[in-house]
Chain A
């Protein structure tokens, strides 16, 4: 648009200011969305990898894996297409150099949730051998490391690594169910060897299954939302992003309004000449669009660039479709911010601009 672009060219500094503010806000939005995504993925990537439809827990566990304890026989009672049992236990693993909060997952050999080994022994199912989440490599853990556990005398050996194996913000060590039950229950092993935390279910019609007594089946997404801290964390970040949308609308609105007020007599003169309000309003909207687009696109690139320089410890994971959506929202919101200016332009009386 001729008028919009001519003004930007003439008053570069002025428009550079507003664009850079938009850029910073957009950068923050993109960064927070990456953080939200990264933190979410720390909590759920293992479950997402399993690709299950539902999770069976005890009723009184209140949808918490940690509080649920059921006999692994129920997996067979459940007439589902595919099932896998999971026994879980939190621990501190120490390889001699580093201590690390981990989550032990005991699973059966033939289960579909058996991890794909990216490095090491693909048939990891050996005595007290574990396949560890590959994030532990960054902490200095290696194949062959012997791990001491905080709660047991049993020592574990890392036989392999696997990708995307974090659950509720802790790296997973996958191991043989029986070995794990011995560690978990100690002297009470014989009595409890069949007690697992949950049965995960791969079956689109999971909600029509008849359930064993005292159990409850929930959709995977519901299960994830009930992980401690997950929903709270997500909501906090989402609200921050929403709030940034409001802020950027307000910034654009105020800035454009100030510019518009300065130009009232100029707009009035143009209107006196017969240039329509619609043309002038379109010009302001076009200007906002140009500035917002530049700001958002630069922020997009800058975010990805900054992301590539961050240490792996920062849980940032960019989801391009989400970023594009947020970018579009930022542009729309900026244009909404121009509404007050458009309204002001429409109401300018050309006569006042002319004076006596």
Chain B
């Protein structure tokens, strides 16, 4: 296993203002597995994803990434785990405004070893359809192109875990399907554990498992699309 949450719970505030953003959760994702987390706005999806990604600590319980229990680590060590193990594709564009597409990836080469080779990078650009954009700055890209570059950036570091929050939100349907296809291929070929938070139920056909988040409760919904019958 790669990523596990054991009795993990996240609350904000206390007393009258206490919010249980994520109730006690047990969750496991294996290498080569692509899972979706769906649920209404405010149900706790991002909370779940950021706790799982070590960006915030659970109020109770444990998060274990590749055998490392995150609460045993200090912020510096957690930051290192994020750098080495996790690729984030976030709701907000996570591109650096003053770096070109190439430089966005180059930056990772400066802070981390074992990223994609030049050939792998070229292949990735082709898969994502951003080959011609490699010298552009983020301000010269469309929303969808920016999202695809963000994906390239997340995959470039060859993470063992991919965490994506609404990765297809600013893409048209065709592109959205292509991106999901790509995430699926990456998951299978690199044996990453991939969690995708999404509103778009049409994308569920690409994933292995679907979890539904309702009022902070995460529940395994189905392992196949045909059983879902979901409407958002």
Could you list which residues of chain A lie within 8 angstroms of chain B, going by C-beta atoms? 2-3, 6-7, 9-11, 265-266, 269-277, 279, 350-351, 353-356
Contacts and interface: CB of A to CB of B under 8 A. Distances in A.
Residues of A contacting B: mostly: helix
A272 B111 contact: no
16 contacts: A2-B106, A2-B107, A6-B98, A7-B98, A269-B96, A272-B88, A272-B90, A273-B82, A273-B83, A274-B79, A276-B79, A350-B55, A351-B50, A354-B91, A354-B165, A356-B91
A2 B99 CA distance: 10
B94 A276 contact: no
A288 to B, nearest CB: 16
B192 to A, nearest CB: 16
B97 A275 contact: no
Interface string B53-87: 10110000000000000000000100111111010
A24 to B, nearest CB: 26
B56 A351 contact: yes
A271 B92 contact: no
Interface of B: 46, 50, 53, 55-56, 76, 79-84, 86, 88, 90-92, 94, 96-99, 103, 106-107, 110-112, 137, 165
A275 B83 contact: yes
Given A2-B107, A279-B111, A355-B92, A11 B83 contact: no
A11 B98 contact: yes
B99 to A, nearest CB: 6
Most buried by B among A3, A6, A277, A354: A354
Contacts of A3: 96, 99, 107, 110
Nearest to A354: B90
B91 A274 contact: no
Given A10-B98, A351-B55, A274 B50 contact: no
A38 to B, nearest CB: 44
A354 B53 CA distance: 12
Nearest to B54: A274
A272 B55 contact: yes
Contacts of B79: 271, 274-277
Contacts of B76: 276
B84 A10 contact: no
B50 to A, nearest CB: 6
A355 B83 contact: no
A274 B97 contact: no
